[in-house]
């Protein structure tokens, strides 16, 4: 019998990268718009966002809210979603240190500077910060 082991870190990196790629394709003007204003923001409702659930499993949410902001030349991508599975009964925090996964920002590539918090009710917020000054 062959047993395949699921690598959730690889899956999470793939989901985050695919979400970033989808955003880059759907909103190619984000980076240029942010560069024009030093403190600009772009907000989009009803988009797809790749996140981790309360158990650390990769999940794709199709009705999320995303915003991309620029603060002093550093981009920050924020994705918020409801209904993210979390059977732990408490808030869960994911980041590069405890997953090894990277997060993608359109126009900036991937970064280790990210965190996701899922509360006990399944409300989740993912934030990726540009590593470029």
Residue in this structure with the two tokens 């966002």, named with its chain if needed = 49
Domain coordinates in residue numbering, the chain = 8-129
Tokens (6 digits) for 119: 């509360």
pTM given for the model? 0.69
pLDDT band at 124 (very low <50, low <70, confident <90, very high): very high
pLDDT single digits (tens) 39-70: 567 777 777 888 999 999 998 888 888 888 87
Position 2 confidence tier, pLDDT thresholds 50, 70, 90: very low
Which residues contact residue 69 at a Cβ distance below 8 angstroms, ignoring those fewer than 6 apart?
34, 39, 40, 41, 42, 75, 76, 78
pLDDT per residue over 89-119, tens digit each?
A: 999 999 999 999 999 887 778 889 999 999 9
**Euclidean distance between CA atoms 126 and 116, whole angstroms:** 4
Q: pLDDT at position 16, please?
A: 52
């Amino acid at each position: 019998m062959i047993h395949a082991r699921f690598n959730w870190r690889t899956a999470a990196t793939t989901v985050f990268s695919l979400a970033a790629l989808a955003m880059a394709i759907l909103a190619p003007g984000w980076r240029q718009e942010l560069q024009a204003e030093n403190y600009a923001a772009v907000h989009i409702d009803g988009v797809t966002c790749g996140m981790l659930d309360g158990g650390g499993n990769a999940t794709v949410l199709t009705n999320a809210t995303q915003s991309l902001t620029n603060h002093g030349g550093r981009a920050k991508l924020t994705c918020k979603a409801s209904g993210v599975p979390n059977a732990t009964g408490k808030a869960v925090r994911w980041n590069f240190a405890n997953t090894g996964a990277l997060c993608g920002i359109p126009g900036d590539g991937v970064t280790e500077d990210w965190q996701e918090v899922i509360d006990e009710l399944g409300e989740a917020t993912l934030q990726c910060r540009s590593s470029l000054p």
